[in-house]
């Protein structure tokens, strides 16, 4: 398992410091979490988006905490689009599943299993998946990525 044992921000360097600070501040405020938790969440979503860009044929789903960061990042539309283009040359769409009775193949547990199988480090604090979370997070039930190539 490649879960991180020590506090590390593996993906912070993928975005400008000014954007990092804006996202962390927004997550702290909107999710009512500490700055350290917000940093973990922002790092988690950057890593999740990089994973999605690096493996476009797979359907991945974020954990509940990572999804918080994804929703925040999406509010910064220009920066989000630029980041997607930078890491994968395609826009990574957020596609929630509105039918809670229909589960797709890209749930968070499968995303964790993929990261473990492929030796991709992740922070277990942002990838906690509990059975009780399944019922209260629509995105956990079926939020996945839909990559669309954007012409250069």
pLDDT tens figures, 135-152: 233 443 345 444 333 333
Asked, for residue 1, whether it belongs to a domain, the answer is no
Say if 4 falls within a structural domain: no
* pLDDT surpasses 80 at 51: yes
Instruction: Give the burial class of 100: count Cβ atoms within 10 A of its Cβ; 0-12 exposed, 13-18 middle, 19 or more buried.
Output: exposed
Q: Does 8 reside within a domain?
A: no
Contact 146, 95 (CB under 8 A): yes
Q: How far is CA 58 from CA 27, 37, 78, 136, in A?
A: 27, 28, 25, 24
Please report whether residue 33 resides in a domain: yes
**Residue showing tokens 């509990």:** 130
Tell whether 94 is covered by a domain.
Answer: yes
Tell me how many domains the chain contains. 1
Q: Which tens digits make up the pLDDT trace of 107-132?
A: 888 899 999 998 888 898 898 766 54
The answer to whether position 6 is within a domain reads no
Domain residues for the domain of 95 are 16-133+143-149
pLDDT of residue 44: 94
- Residue positions counted in the chain: 152
Q: Is residue 3 part of a domain?
A: no
Q: Across residues 78-91, what is the average pLDDT?
A: 94
């Amino acid at each position: 398992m490649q879960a991180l044992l020590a506090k590390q921000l593996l993906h912070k360097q993928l975005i400008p410091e000014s954007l990092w600070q804006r996202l962390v501040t927004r997550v702290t405020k909107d999710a009512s979490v500490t700055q350290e938790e917000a940093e973990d969440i922002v790092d988690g979503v950057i890593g999740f988006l990089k994973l999605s860009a690096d493996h476009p044929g797979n359907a991945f789903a974020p954990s509940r905490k990572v999804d918080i960061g994804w929703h925040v990042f999406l509010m910064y539309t220009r920066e989000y689009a630029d980041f997607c283009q930078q890491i994968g040359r395609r826009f990574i769409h957020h596609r929630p599943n509105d039918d809670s009775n229909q589960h797709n193949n890209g749930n968070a547990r499968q995303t964790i299993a993929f990261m473990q199988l492929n030796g991709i480090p992740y922070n277990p604090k942002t990838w906690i998946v509990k059975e009780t979370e399944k019922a209260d997070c629509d995105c956990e039930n079926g939020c996945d990525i839909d990559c669309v190539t954007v012409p250069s």
